[in-house]
Amino acid sequence: MDFVNELRKRGNRITNAREVVCKILETSGHEHFTVEELHKLALKKDKSIDLATVYRTLELLENINLIEHSHQAHGSGLYFLKEAYSNIHIVCESCDDIADLDQATSKKVNKLIKNKTDFKEITNHFVYTGLCKKC
């Protein structure tokens, strides 16, 4: 998807800095970024990009459902391309490796929560933590 075009169609101003951030995200696949990591990558392409621009761009992209984020217990949020289903992440507390639970497992977890709470729709914006096999 062309993030810049989507923002432009909605009347948002497109600066070089915003375009750089969008291109990094568009080509990331399902990589996960903290704001700080994304800012460091953007600075390699344009040294004038400030952290506030990265935050504002992420907020805009999340508002139009192109990206989403998850909260970590003790750390920055993780931003990633929005998928067709809710994505549950597990982060290793030792090496920061990130694993995604597959769609079937995510559905089982959401079904369990629905049954316990009588909610009909479940989404999440949190990250499980633990220690991976390597650690």
Q: What would the pLDDT profile of 33-66 be if each residue is shown by its tens digit? A: 999 999 999 999 999 999 999 999 999 999 998 9
- Asked if pLDDT for residue 126 goes beyond 80, the answer is no
**Which residue from 15, 88, 28 is spatially nearest to 38, judged by alpha carbons?**
28
Residues of the chain within CATH 3.30.1490 domain(s) are: 89-130
Whole-angstrom distance, CA of residue 26 vs CA of residue 67: 10
- Asked if pLDDT for residue 19 goes beyond 60, the answer is yes
Whole-angstrom distance, CA of residue 74 vs CA of residue 62: 22
Please report the pLDDT score of residue 48 as a whole number: 95
High-pLDDT (> 70) share of the chain, % = 94
Q: What is the dihedral of CA 71, 59, 16, 42, to 10 degrees?
A: -10
Residues of the chain within CATH 1.10.10.10 domain(s) are: 3-68
Residues 6+ apart with CB under 8 A from 101: 87, 88, 89, 90, 109
Q: DSSP label at 126?
A: B
Residues 6+ apart with CB under 8 A from 29: 81
* Architecture field, domain 3-68: Orthogonal Bundle (1.10)
Quote the mean pLDDT of the chain: 88
For residues 22 and 30, which has the higher predicted lDDT (pLDDT)?
22
Output the CA angle 94-98-24, nearest 5 degrees.
125
Q: Are strands 67-70 and 89-92 parallel, antiparallel or unpaired?
A: unpaired
57-93 per-position pLDDT tens digit: 999 999 998 998 887 766 778 888 887 555 788 889 8
What number is the average pLDDT over the span 98-104?
83
Please report the pLDDT score of residue 1 as a whole number: 78
Residue 24 pLDDT level (bands cut at 50, 70, 90): very high
Please report the pLDDT score of residue 38 as a whole number: 96
Q: Which fold has domain 89-130?
A: Dna Ligase; domain 1 (3.30.1490)
Output the CA angle 39-45-51, nearest 5 degrees.
25
For residues 1 and 97, which has the higher predicted lDDT (pLDDT)?
97
Contact 98, 114 (CB under 8 A): no
